[in-house]
Amino acid sequence: MAEVQKDAPIKSVQVEALVVMKIVKHCSTSFPTVATGSIVGMDNNGAIEVTNSFQFPSVDVSSSDSHSDASSLAAAAPRAKANIVYQNEMIRHLKEVNVDANNVGWYTSATMGNFINMSFIENQYHYQKENEKTVALVHDVSRSSQGALSLRAFKLSPEFMTAYKEAKFTTESLRNSKLTYKDIFVELPVNVHNSHLLTSFLHQIPAPPKSAEIPMPASLDDIRRDPVQIPAHPGFESLDLSIDPFLEKTCDLLLDSIESHYTDLNNHQYYQRQLTREQFKITQWQAKRKAENAARLAAKQSPLPEDEWQRLFKLPQEPSRLEGMLNARQVDQYARQVDAFTANITAKMFAVRGNLLPE
Amino acid sequence: MSRFFRGGDDSSTDSSSEEEEVYTSEEEEEKVQAEDESSSEEESDEEESDEESSSDEEEGTKKKGASRFLQSDDESEEEEEEQSDDEATTKVKSAKDKRFDELESTISQIQNGQKINDWSLIANEFDKLNRQVVKLQDGSKAPKSYIKAIADLEDFMNETLAKQKVTPKKMNATNARGLNAVKQRIRKNNKEYQTQIDAYRKDADAFMESDDEVAAPKVVSKVRFEAPVVSAEQQEEDDKGFSTVDSRGKVVQYTPESILKHLRAIIESRGKKNTDRLEQIKVMETLNKVVPITPYQKIRVLQTLISARFDLGAGGAAQMPLDQWKAAERDLASLLEILEKEKDHVVVEGAEEWDDDDKLPTIPEGEKYLKVPGSVVSLIERLDDELTRSLQAIDPHTSEYIDRLTDEGSLYNTIFRGLLYYEHLRKDASLEVPQESLNRIIQRRLDHVYYKPAQVVKILEENAWKQVSAEADSEITPRSQSGDAGKLINILSNYLFENSEGIIRARAMLCQIYFLALHDEYYKSRDLMLTSHLQETIANFDIATQILYNRTLVQVGLCAFRKGLVYDAQNTLQEICGSGRQKELLAQGVMIQRYSQVTPEQERLEKQRQLPFHMHINLELLECVYLTCSMLLEIPLLAQTGSSPDVKKRIISKTYRRMLEYHERQIFTGPPENTRDHVMQASKALAAGEWKKATDFIHSIKIWDLMPNTEGIKTMLAKQIQEEGLRTYLFTYAPFYDTLAIATLSSMFELDSRKVSAVVSKMISHEELAAALDQVTETVIFRKGVELSRLQSLALTLSDKASSLIETNERTLEQKTQGSANAFSRKDNRGGGQRGGGQRGGRGGARTGGNPQRQAGGTQFTGGALGNAVRG
């Protein structure tokens, strides 16, 4: 039974409410710097139960260092040597107090879904190569601040893992493995789990009265006619239609992505030009060598080797396509995000219109 | 007159050893005179000599300086020696006698040296001799024994040199050095005593015996105290006592019979090394004066003479000497005169050479003309070029430049007469004068008038007509038409346009446009410019024409500005002024190129291309006009785009923007000093709505005075500033108003209320201003919320980027599939959403062979589904 469980792939992630709170707290305090931490828990029949988390120690960045350095340092924290030691120490201590002491991955903060980059891939690869059953939790601070909590779990797809292991992202290898930007990550559903005790406590939290003092009813009729107003929950905020800031931000990010895509494109074009030039040279050389050999043959001399070009010419290294793939994935991510968000807004709009339409 | 060349010649003879032999004593004698003249005239003629020395480039002046130092050195040495001599004297002997003895002993030493061929000894002794003789000289007269010694020495030296040439055996080093030293010193030295040496050479014994030492030096002293200006006649007078002698001392007689032989000899030696051009010119001048009987001879002599004069200026970058130019101009005029008089002699290109050594050529039977080979138009062109070259070299801020410029009038006359002559030739079809010659001469004439104001052209024309005989008339430019400069230009350029092609045609057009623009005919010149279609082909023309094109463009721009057409002016000037290389583009100065290496050759060419100063277009005025126009256009534009930062920024003039930014970065701005400051501060004031201040700034620019009708320009500018100020104000403050009364605006900008409503209406109709005009209440009512939000502008940018991405992808696909557009059948795929990354994995899609009909499919592509969405 246990054997079977071990081999079952991860299907979902279950996060304790406490962990969620801790992650949200950590991420929002360190915003806009990226925050990272480790999560512990256990694998329960294909579902990872995350029961605790701790943050990686923030490195004190000296004042001379710029802000971006702090961000990149934090982003690179999970695979930093010092932090691995710290994490192992921490897990040992946790074991001593009888908490689940299995590392099941790490978490990071993000802004508007801009988490897909090399650093993220490296971190996740670092965990996943050791233990197949690890996930990356991404908490999007900006989106959470809009109302709904945004917590997502990702892991790298097995195909990508093999490709990354070989570090081969040439056009040819990509074509053979049929790896596209869609196949980089596998997203897992996230459930937030509360303990029964907590659930019952939540149910018992009394709703606060609307005003501090409720006027005493003068008579029984009064109570019947005008019952005590219980405040509407969760308020009108959910009807907020302010879509512009979100879209603006996304637009900006999209433009950035397009920029980087162009950079990538230019690199690749440069490579291609270089390649054709080299190839032209090689064919020239070969033709020359062939003519030479023909001449030597006529003069009854032994022909010169014709495969020397491999030694003489060096084809330029094809730039890795990984960046481009990640970029595409990122754009995809943005697009989905906008899609999801506008779907929500559109629904609200329709609701409003339906109300306004004359019957 | 030849003294200045002497300087140059001197240097050349000093440095080259072979030239020694070709020196004629006759010429050297003249040199003595010349030198003396120059020394006496030096002060009075300082200006002239300055000019000449500058023409000889530095070489001449350096030489001069060096020799000056040498002289003073000699003097000091001599003094020293005198002192030491005095101390050493023990014998009772008159000082003079003693020195004579010394001299004699030195001479005998030299003679000894000659015997054993010891040149180093001779060199030393010769130096000594020279020092001694200075002390012995009474007046300018040197002792006879000395003269004898140096004359003998020179002969001996020449002999040795000649011998050395034939014998292969080399001298040893010290000897050779000594020989060289003596050679150089002798040449310098002997010039001083040339007359005496000549006398000695003529009759050695008589010279040595003769007691009276007056005759010979007399000439020298006479010249020495001559009036500063020695004309040719005086020179002749001086020459009277002597007969002309050739290099071997033979007397040369110029007779009408031998004239052509001489000429031939000269022509043959032309271009060879070691020929003294000056001497040849002199010979020819004599020839010209003495003899010519037949017009043929005259023509030949003049032709050769003129070309010889031009040869003088041919070497290197130095331009032709002034007097030679003038002489050439005179000769050319007389040549034309002869040709006009002697109608049966014609100078045509490609005529056969006459064998004229023995007998004079005569008019062949059955033909009307005696054809002389040559080209008048080439001579005229050369004369013109030489004038330009000398004008390039002269500092334009001196009176000398103006003096030189007056020569242009006579040049113009020559050109004009040349034109008449060619017209005359053209009349006779049998001569087959090529059209091209006529075109060239007309082009020259046009080049001389197109940049001048009408009045100046008129004066030029009048002078030119005065020169020719009363009955002469030009077919192309009739006398009756010449009074009107505009008509003249029109006729000339039309003639060229009809009768030529290529560059001359283009140049003719440009000249006409230039002239029209100069005379405020903006629309005419603009239309001509546009119909010429030169802007498309100008890059294929030669650089001189490109420069002319640039000049014309600038002139048209300035004309538009004078007309008050700010937009047109800015547009026209943009190309030239926006580049920041006005100087180079207009050939009015060489840019210092910091980062690129320019070869001396290029630099020389560049320098040659420069226009003489009087043709310049004032660059400061140009900049001022350009900046002012830019200000009037840019400031409202800045105000307009200022409110919406993400809209793609239109920039009219980058140069202006840069200056404005620079000006704004300054923390403290002092009162404006130059034109640029004025315009920048005016811009600032205008942007702030203070149009009055802006007007003040603009009006206080001094360079406007250079424009004709300064007041008119200023009022025009004031009006423009008012209007642009109003526009700027509306752009800047529209968001803060709901309504705005026209009366308020009109009082604010002191504009007519009709004008205000006209400006506002224009802005509304161009959708620059979201407003409406209420004519009843006379107010402008602004609409709100019509400008793009940030999100909208971002979305627009995004869609732009996305569509360009799609295009890139399409192109890549096209490349990969090699034009077989079927591999990517759009019709079926339309709904499928072909995202950019979709094809990343592979080439995808079935390739069903190339369909030739759809080969050009790529051009019809509309962007697929996403593209449609973006575009829609």
Domain assignment present for residue A172? The answer is yes
Contact check, Cβ <8 Å, A254/B798: yes
Rounded to the nearest angstrom, the minimum Cα separation between B792 and chain A is 9
- CA-CA distance, B13 to B63, in Å (whole number)? 12
Which chain B residue is nearest to residue A245, measuring alpha carbons?
A: B791
Tokens for B38, please give them.
């120059």
Burial call B200-237: b when 16+ CB within 10 Å, e when fewer: beeeeeebeeeeebeebbebbeebeebeeebeeeebee
* Amino acid, single-letter form, for residue B426: R
Give A254's contacts in chain B (Cβ within 8 Å): 798
**Cis amide bond preceding A32, omega within 30:** yes
Given a contact cutoff of 8 angstroms between Cβ atoms, the answer to whether B535 and B570 are in contact is no
Tokens for B234, please give them.
């005086």
The enclosing H or E element of B439 equals helix B435-449
* Amino acid, single-letter form, for residue A102: N
Given a contact cutoff of 8 angstroms between Cβ atoms, the answer to whether B694 and B685 are in contact is yes
Q: What are phi and psi of A40, to 5 degrees?
A: -125, 160
For β-strands A190-193 and A36-44, DSSP reports them as: unpaired
Give A328's contacts in chain B (Cβ within 8 Å): 836-837, 840
Of the candidates A180, A251, A258, the beta carbon closest to that of B841 is on: A180
* Cα separation values, B468 from B38, B341, B426, B472, Å: 38, 12, 18, 7
- CA-CA distance, A281 to A276, in Å (whole number)? 8
Give B791's contacts in chain A (Cβ within 8 Å): 244, 247-248, 251
Give A174's contacts in chain B (Cβ within 8 Å): 840-842
Give A175's contacts in chain B (Cβ within 8 Å): 841-842
- CA-CA distance, B616 to A9, in Å (whole number)? 86
Among B646, B789, B793, B798, most A C-beta atoms within 10 A, so best to mutate, is: B798
- CA-CA distance, A38 to A42, in Å (whole number)? 13
Please give the CATH architecture assigned to the domain spanning B619-782.
Orthogonal Bundle (1.10)
Domain holding A51, by residue range, is: 10-58+69-196
In this structure, are A247 and A185 located in the same domain? no
Contact check, Cβ <8 Å, B801/A178: no
Local structure of B842: helix, strand or coil: coil
- Region A77-94: what's the mean pLDDT? 83
B21's CB contacts (< 8 A; 6+ apart) are B158, B161, B162, B247
Give B794's contacts in chain A (Cβ within 8 Å): 247-248, 251-252, 255
* Amino acid, single-letter form, for residue B599: T
pLDDT tens digit string along B63-122?
444 444 444 444 444 444 444 444 444 445 566 677 777 777 877 877 777 777 777 777
Rounded to the nearest angstrom, the minimum Cα separation between B837 and chain A is 6
Residue B777's pLDDT is what?
87
Q: What are phi and psi of A206, to 5 degrees?
A: -75, 145
- Beta-carbon neighbour count of residue A336 at 10 Å? 11
B675-687 and B710-733 are packed helices; what angle lies between their axes, rounded to 10 degrees? 40
Tokens for B28, please give them.
């050297």
In this structure, are A177 and A119 located in the same domain? yes
In this structure, are A81 and A192 located in the same domain? yes
At CA B247, angle to CA B244 and CA B250, rounded to 5? 55
In this structure, are A149 and A252 located in the same domain? no
Given a contact cutoff of 8 angstroms between Cβ atoms, the answer to whether B68 and B109 are in contact is no
* Amino acid, single-letter form, for residue A126: H
In this structure, are A42 and A191 located in the same domain? yes
In this structure, are A34 and A89 located in the same domain? yes
Of the candidates B790, B794, B801, the beta carbon closest to that of A258 is on: B801
Given a contact cutoff of 8 angstroms between Cβ atoms, the answer to whether B415 and B448 are in contact is yes
**What DSSP designation does B701 have?**
-
Burial call A60-89: b when 16+ CB within 10 Å, e when fewer: eeeeeeeeeebbebbbebbbbeebeebbee
Domain count, chain A: 2
In this structure, are A136 and A251 located in the same domain? no
Among B648, B791, B799, B800, most A C-beta atoms within 10 A, so best to mutate, is: B791
Domain assignment present for residue A342? The answer is yes
Given a contact cutoff of 8 angstroms between Cβ atoms, the answer to whether B652 and B637 are in contact is yes
Domain with CATH 1.10.10.10 in chain B: 619-782
Rounded to the nearest angstrom, the minimum Cα separation between A243 and chain B is 10
In this structure, are A288 and A155 located in the same domain? no
The CA-based dihedral angle spanning residues B7, B9, B13, B15, taken in that order and rounded to the nearest 10 degrees: 70
Rounded to the nearest angstrom, the minimum Cα separation between A255 and chain B is 6
Among A174, A241, A246, A248, most B C-beta atoms within 10 A, so best to mutate, is: A248
Local structure of B352: helix, strand or coil: coil
* Cα separation values, B462 from B465, B483, B706, Å: 5, 7, 27
Contact check, Cβ <8 Å, A325/B840: yes
Could you report the predicted ipTM of this complex, rounded to two decimals? 0.70
- CA-CA distance, A311 to A307, in Å (whole number)? 8
B839's CB contacts (< 8 A; 6+ apart) are B809, B813
For β-strands A12-16 and A102-110, DSSP reports them as: unpaired
What do you get for the CA distance between the two ends of chain A, in Å? Answer: 62
Given a contact cutoff of 8 angstroms between Cβ atoms, the answer to whether A58 and A37 are in contact is no
Given a contact cutoff of 8 angstroms between Cβ atoms, the answer to whether B417 and B405 are in contact is no
Q: Which residues pair with A136 in a beta bridge?
A: A106, A154
- Mean pLDDT for each consecutive 10-residue tract of chain B (872 residues)? 43 42 45 47 45 43 44 44 46 64 78 76 76 64 72 76 66 70 72 70 63 42 39 44 47 59 68 63 68 68 77 61 79 81 73 59 63 80 83 82 84 85 77 78 86 85 78 72 78 84 84 89 89 83 87 90 89 83 78 63 77 84 90 86 58 84 84 87 88 90 85 90 90 85 89 89 86 86 75 84 87 74 46 39 38 38 42 40
Domain assignment present for residue A21? The answer is yes
- CA-CA distance, B148 to B143, in Å (whole number)? 9
Last residue within a domain, chosen from A196, A229, A250? A196
Local structure of B774: helix, strand or coil: strand
Given a contact cutoff of 8 angstroms between Cβ atoms, the answer to whether B788 and B767 are in contact is no
- CA-CA distance, B412 to B448, in Å (whole number)? 7
Domain assignment present for residue A139? The answer is yes
Which single residue is written with the structure tokens 């590392």? A103
Q: Which residues pair with A156 in a beta bridge?
A: A185
Of the candidates A247, A261, A321, the beta carbon closest to that of B791 is on: A247
Give A332's contacts in chain B (Cβ within 8 Å): 837
Give A248's contacts in chain B (Cβ within 8 Å): 790-791, 794
Of the candidates A251, A255, A258, the beta carbon closest to that of B791 is on: A251
Domain assignment present for residue A171? The answer is yes
Q: What is the 3-state secondary structure (H, E, C) of chain A?
A: CHHHHHHCCCCEEEEEHHHHHHHHHHHHHHCCCCCEEEEEEEEECCEEEEEEEEECCCCCCCCCCCHHHHHHHHHHHHHCHHHHHHHHHHHHHHHHCCCCCEEEEEEEEECCCCCCCHHHHHHHHHHHHHCCCCEEEEEEHHHHHCCCCCEEEEEECHHHHHHHHHCCCCHHHHHHHCCCHHHCEEEECEEEECCHHHHHHHHHCCCCCCCCCCCCCCCHHHHHHCCCCCCCCCCHHHHCCCCHHHHHHHHHHHHHHHHHHHHHHHHHHHHHHHHHHHHHHHHHHHHHHHHHHHHHHHCCCCCCCCCCHHHHCCCCCCCCCHHHHHHHHHHHHHHHHHHHHHHHHHHHHHHHHHHHCCC
Contact check, Cβ <8 Å, B794/A251: yes
Domain assignment present for residue A3? The answer is no
* Cα separation values, B340 from B293, B344, B441, B474, B625, Å: 17, 9, 17, 14, 50
Contact check, Cβ <8 Å, B805/A258: yes
Would you list which residues of chain B are within 8 Å, Cβ to Cβ, of chain A? 789-791, 794-795, 797-798, 801-802, 805, 808, 836-837, 840-842
**CA-based max dimension of chain B:** 133
B749's CB contacts (< 8 A; 6+ apart) are B691, B722, B725, B726, B729, B756
Domain assignment present for residue A64? The answer is no
The enclosing H or E element of B779 equals strand B779-782
In this structure, are A268 and A132 located in the same domain? no
Percent of chain A at pLDDT exceeding 90: 0
What do you get for the CA distance between the two ends of chain B, in Å? Answer: 86
Residue B397's pLDDT is what?
84
Please state the separation of Cα B335 from the chain's center in Å. 27
In this structure, are A79 and A152 located in the same domain? yes
* Cα separation values, B822 from A139, B334, B508, B826, B852, Å: 46, 82, 56, 8, 10
Given a contact cutoff of 8 angstroms between Cβ atoms, the answer to whether B393 and B401 are in contact is no
Local structure of B786: helix, strand or coil: coil
Give B842's contacts in chain A (Cβ within 8 Å): 174-175, 178
Rounded to the nearest angstrom, the minimum Cα separation between A172 and chain B is 8
Strand ranges (E), B325-469 = 345-348, 370-373
Domain assignment present for residue A45? The answer is yes
Given a contact cutoff of 8 angstroms between Cβ atoms, the answer to whether B858 and B821 are in contact is yes
Tokens for B328, please give them.
């050439």
- CA-CA distance, B186 to B110, in Å (whole number)? 13
Measured over the CA atoms of residue A52, residue A153, residue A164 and residue A319, the dihedral's sign is negative
pLDDT tens digit string along B94-106?
666 777 777 778 7
B197's CB contacts (< 8 A; 6+ apart) are B25, B147, B150, B151, B154, B190
